[in-house]
Structure 1
Amino acid sequence: MEKTFLQLEGLGKAFGKNTVVDDVNLSIGQGEFVSFLGPSGCGKTTVLRMIAGFETPTTGRIVVNGRDVTSLRPNQRKIGMVFQAYALFPNMSVAANIGFGLRVGGVAKDEARERIGEMLTLIGLSGFEKRYPYQLSGGQQQRVALARALAARPAMLLLDEPLSALDAKIRLSLREEIRAIQKKLDITTIFVTHDQEEALSMSDRVVVMRDGHAEQIGTPFEIYNRPATRFVANFVGTLNVLEGTVSDAATGKVRLGAGEVVLKDGLDGARNGDALALALRPEAIALGPRVGNDGRLTGEIMDVHFLGSVIRVRVGLGKEVVSLDTFNNSTTPPPKVGDKAEISFSCADLLVLN
């Protein structure tokens, strides 16, 4: 990680007796893109608002570039913020909206005009400066909101679910543009979202929030492939959870229904007969044998869903049902409901859930 730019130390927030953020500790490097991911009410937006200065922490402190800003007002923190609602002034042109903060900040007209031009080029809306918000699409309006936040050259950019009001195609395009702009400017950015795909595709690191706590902090690869808790495993991506019983703790053997698997990392602290929950991603499971797969279970095809390039198959394994993804092959018809099936996987892909 680059030199630490933002430090959250024991950050907490309570409204009366209701604690919404509890002991969040995080270091963010210069130019790093970090997403706070979690369900509604988990505290992610409250953390963002405390960083911006709109909420005062109950405990802890916020350090930006070596300076304690915990008690500073929002306009003293040199932070740009983009909200879910575009919050554009309907009676102002695009240029006037982008330049609003510059005018309030006393930037000279010539310099402001130059910066507005730079921002319009950056967001791909050159020639739109005289239009009004009602003449723009939702995606264009959000670009203007982004340009307005960046025009004042903030030290840090905060984004509070800025894509949630847009349709899927525009969201995909705009998130790529936001990430490209962020990299170009090398600006430290915090992005709040409940959309796991956005967080995984855009971020250098992801903070998964739950009930005011940072449940896990890691790269998208780590969060998806090595979830630290059952909550993270279930919240991020599709997951199969298999309930098993430890049959030989010394060798890592676990019984799953009528089959048995051997865990690569062993079972430290477990005892024979202990119940155990194992997680397995759909893409880690093959229908039929596959070279290198040392785990095998047999069952029955329960459902088949054709999704275009991918076919999702649900296989019943006694009391358990697992989902697996297989690529569509135009020469091979998908399996039929009721067919007997063998699934295979690498035991190294099995995760023990806490």
Structure 2
Amino acid sequence: MADPFLSIQHVKKAFGATTVVEDFNLDIARGEFVSFLGPSGCGKTTVLRMVAGFEEPTAGQIIVGGKDVTRLKPNQRNVGMVFQAYALFPNLTVAQNVAFGLKVAGIPKADSDKRVAEMLDLIKLPQLGDRYPYQLSGGQQQRVALARALAPKPKLLLLDEPLSALDAKVRVSLRDEIRAIQKELGITTIFVTHDQEEALSISDRIAVMYGGKAEQVGAPFEIYNRPATKFVANFVGTLNVLEGVVSDAGSGRVRINAEEIGLKGKLNGSKTGDTLSLALRPEAIALGERPGNDAKLTGEISDVHFLGSVIRVRVGIGQSKISLDTFNNSSTPPPNVGDKAEISFSSGDVLVLH
């Protein structure tokens, strides 16, 4: 990436003897929306707080717009931040909350009032400027927190799990609004989440974190379809894992529960007799034959769940349970538990986990 807007270089953070971020590196382009995705304790919020200036790195540099900001205080970085807790001032109205950063910066009242009006229009709450936070829903309060962060026109927008306190329907609506606002303003954004669906749906790129490191950085399509590590493959999306034994390394044949499939070019140096962990996404698997599928396995239906438009089926193959979804067809009843079943898939969709 030529001339990144934000560059996080060899950043480390230790609290005493405990290292929570280890040699983290990431370049982010101007206007890019990047999500930090990972489980609790993986270091994603700590990296965000170091970019914001709330934590000082033990080692490494943070460069914004070509300027080293590693040792600068938060108010010297021109960064807007939205927290999981709305953190609105309960004694101030919506308009006063949005104007808070402008007032601190010494912006004249007339200019501040104009900017507040723009922000309230942006978050689609133009009529609620006189209300207090307790009079708003959770989703409305988080919109106000977003407007307050954006009002001073920051260079960077940092969002620390801003949707996790909201119910599912509001989360989906608000994440789409956040993305639309980010695109409209063209502001460089980091979004921290442990929700893979959120990260996959709104990000330009995702940094999947584990144990204080970035396991993989890439576009959502790449992260989901070409996971670089076993952790990424298991953490992002639903994954079926089968144990296979290399029956003929030369021809790329692998035996799964007495049946063989071909995985030529995917064995990565494995030898005949080696045991491999093979993974398949549910959507890559068909119940029965499907054109283009060159691999087949047989098993027994172990679970069937009717979910309306989709029927979720689990097939037992040896000691493994394979999950797949089929579309509901009103003229074809779902399979029964205990039925023999054949599944098919393309060998190109098989991931060999390491």
TM-score, normalised on structure 2? 0.99
Distance 1:224 1:27, change over 3 A: same
Shift of 1:160: 0.1
Distance (whole Å) between structure 2 residues aligned to residue 140 and residue 290 of structure 1: 47
Q: Deviations over 1:123-143 (max 9, x none)?
A: 000111001111111000000
Helix, strand or coil: the match of 1:4?
coil
Aligned partner of 1:51 in structure 2 is 51
Decide whether the 8 Å contact of 1:3 with 1:30 is kept in 2.
Answer: no
Question: Do the aligned residues in 1 keep the contact of 2:296 with 2:345 (CA within 8 Å)?
Answer: yes
CA apart distance, 1:308:
2.0
Q: 1:223 offset after TM fit, Å? A: 0.6
Report 1:193-232 matches (<5 A): 193-232=193-232
Q: Distance in 2 between matches of 1:94 and 1:320?
A: 54
- Match runs of 1:117-136 below 5 Å: 117-136=117-136
* 1:34 corresponding residue in structure 2: 34
- Aligned residues: CA RMSD: 0.9
2:5 aligned counterpart, secondary structure? strand
Q: Secondary structure at the match of 2:199?
A: helix
Return the alpha-carbon distance in structure 2 between the equivalents of residues 64 and 264 of structure 1. 46
Letter in 2 for 1:299: G
Residue 197 of structure 2 is aligned to residue 192 of structure 1: no
Letter in 2 for 1:108: P
Instruction: Say if 2:138 is the partner of 1:173.
Output: no
Matches of 2:144 and 2:133 in 1, distance apart?
9
Q: Distance in 2 between matches of 1:227 and 1:239?
A: 11
- Whether the 8 Å CA contact 1:249–1:268 is kept in 2: the answer is no
Give the distance between the partners of 2:206 and 2:12, measured in 1 at CA: 19
Residues 240, 280 of structure 1: 8 Å contact kept: yes
- Residues 253, 264 of structure 2: 8 Å contact kept: no
Query: Does the 8 Å contact 1:2/1:30 carry over to 2?
Result: no
Query: Could you say which residue in structure 2 is the equivalent of 1:16?
Result: 16
Residue 352 of structure 2 corresponds to 352
- Measured after TM superposition, the shift of residue 2 of structure 1 is 7.3
Deviation at 1:122, TM superposition (A): 0.3
Question: 1:341 is aligned with what amino acid?
Answer: A
**Counterparts of residues 329-344 of structure 1 (less than 5 Å):** 329-344=329-344
Compute the displacement of 1:310 (Å). Answer: 1.5
Q: Distance in 1 between matches of 2:6 and 2:324?
A: 41
Identity over aligned residues, as a percent?
Answer: 71
Rate the CA distance shift 1:264–1:188 in 2: closer, same or farther, 3 A: farther
Maintained 8 Å contact 1:8/1:61? yes
Amino acid at match of 2:277: A
- Alpha-carbon offset, residue 269 of structure 1: 1.4
Asked whether the 8 Å contact 2:37–2:209 carries over to 1, the reply is: yes
Structure 1: which 5+ residue stretches go unaligned? Answer: none
- The aligned amino acid for 2:261 is V
Runs of 4+ in structure 1 deviating by more than 4 angstroms, as ranges, are none
2 CA distance for matches of 1:266 and 1:37? 27
Cα distance in 1, alignment partners of residues 202 and 2 from structure 2: 18
Report the Cα distance in structure 2 between the residues aligned to 1:3 and 1:25, rounded to whole angstroms.
15
Structure 1 residues 123, 309: closer, same or farther in 2, change over 3 A?
same
How far off its partner does 1:301 sit?
0.2
Q: How far apart in 2 are the matches of 1:241 and 1:266?
A: 16
Tell me if the contact between 2:266 and 2:352 (Cα under 8 Å) persists in the aligned partners.
no
Aligned to 1:268: 268
Tell me the distance in 2 between the aligned counterparts of 1:325 and 1:2: 42
Does the residue aligned with 1:134 lie in a helix, a strand or coil?
A: helix
